[in-house]
Amino acid sequence: MNPSPEDVFKLISSQYLGKVLRGEECVFLTPADINDDMRPTDHDELLERAIYPLAQQHGMDKIQGELENAIQEICFDALGVFCAIQCFYIQIVREDAQASPLKIDRKNLPKFLAASFLKESDALHSLEVKKGDLSNDRSYKVTLSGMRILARDHGINWGVVLP
C-alpha cells in the first residue's frame, strides 16, 4: 500500500522530500503490471498520488518548488542522480501529455542534472539498485537513455553533449 499524500506532506514540511524521491521514506511501490524492479520508489505513483494532490491543496508554486529543490538536493551520489533523473523524466513526460498540473524548470534544472550525471558517471556504472545490476550496467544505461529520450522527444537541453 502506498503512503498517503499527508504522509508525504509531513516529510515535505520537515525538508525530507529528497528521502521520498530516493526511496528511503514513504516508498511508492511499482505497480505489478509495470514489473520494473529498478525503481527504489515509483516516481510516477509518487507524482500522481501525492505530489499533484498536494499541489492542488497547498499551492502549485510551493509544491513545485519543493520538488525542484528535492531533485537537486538528492544529487550528492549515484543513487540520488539516478532517482532525480528518473523523477525529472517522468514529470516531463507527464507535463507533455498534459497529465501534470506542474510546470517544472526546463532551463536550469536539466543543466544541473547533466552536471550531476557527469560527476557521478563512474559511480552510476557501479550502482547496484537490484542485486546483479552490475552485470549489464543497468543504472548508467537507464539514466543515459532517459536523458537522450528527453532531449530527442521533449526538447530538453542538457547544456552538455551526452556520452
Alpha carbon of residue 43 to chain centroid: 6
**pLDDT number for residue 127:** 87
pLDDT band per the 50, 70, 90 thresholds, residue 130: low
pTM for the model: 0.92
Cell numbers describing residue 122: 563512474
**Tens of pLDDT, residues 92-110:** 999 999 999 999 999 999 9
Per-residue pLDDT at 128: 78
Does residue 136 register a pLDDT over 60? yes
pLDDT mean over 73-77? 98
Looking at the chain, the whole-number percentage of residues with pLDDT higher than 90 is: 77
Q: What distance in Å separates the CA atoms of residue 51 and residue 81, rounded to the nearest whole number?
A: 20
Kindly list the domain boundaries of the chain, sorted by start residue.
Answer: 5-154
For residue 62, pLDDT beyond 80: yes
Q: Is the CATH number 1.25.40.520 carried by domain 5-154? A: yes
**pLDDT beyond 80 at 1:** no
CA torsion, ordered 64, 127, 152, 62, to nearest 10 deg: 0
| Model pLDDT, residue 138 | 83
pLDDT at 38 over 60: no
Whole-number average pLDDT of the chain:
91
Contacts 24+ apart (CB under 8 A), 3-7: 3/27, 3/28, 3/50, 4/50, 5/49, 5/50, 5/53, 5/54, 5/57, 7/50
Tell me how long the chain is.
Answer: 163
Dig out the grid coordinates for 75 from the structure. Answer: 544529487
